[in-house]
Amino acid sequence: MPKQAKKPLKRNAKPPRSRETRSIDALTIGWMLMVFTTLVCEIGFVATRAFAGADAEGMLAVLMGMLSFASVVIGLGVLLLTPVVIKARRDPPPRGVILFSVAVGVAPWALIVFQMANS
């Protein structure tokens, strides 16, 4: 059997460049970090509420309030940044990512409305 010829290694090969500028990449990364942070705050709030119940007292009530406040504020930032990221990028993010980020941004507000309706 003949030996297969090896392809010559390219020296100084440059990695493929992104079509986006660094500032747009930074904006997109910040936006996705905000989405993830909002999601973690929402999950923490729901888990704390399930653990402590609706009439929590003491430190658990403070933790629930802080997580709820953080998810509302950061979720509002997510909702405000989503159209900016879509318009600024040459290639918009995938539709699933956009829908997920909008759902995560709206969820804290939906939780507040749900709590007010049950009170």
Query: Residue 7 falls within a domain, yes or no?
Result: no
Query: Residue 53 falls within a domain, yes or no?
Result: yes
User: What 3-state DSSP class applies to 113?
Assistant: helix
What is the per-residue pLDDT across 52-70, written as a single tens digit (0 to 9) for each? 877 778 898 899 999 999 9
Query: Residue 10 falls within a domain, yes or no?
Result: no
Total tally of structural domains belonging to the chain: 1
Query: Residue 1 falls within a domain, yes or no?
Result: no
State pTM to two decimals. Answer: 0.80
* Mean pLDDT rounded to a whole number for the chain: 89
Residue 69 sits in which domain range?
A: 22-118
Query: Residue 14 falls within a domain, yes or no?
Result: no
What is the per-residue pLDDT across 20-33, written as a single tens digit (0 to 9) for each? 889 999 999 999 99
What is the per-residue pLDDT across 70-89, written as a single tens digit (0 to 9) for each? 999 999 999 999 999 999 99
The DSSP letter of residue 91 is S
Q: What is the DSSP string of 9-65?
A: PPTTPPPPPPSS-HHHHHHHHHHHHHHHHHHHHHHHHHHHHHHH-TT--THHHHHHH
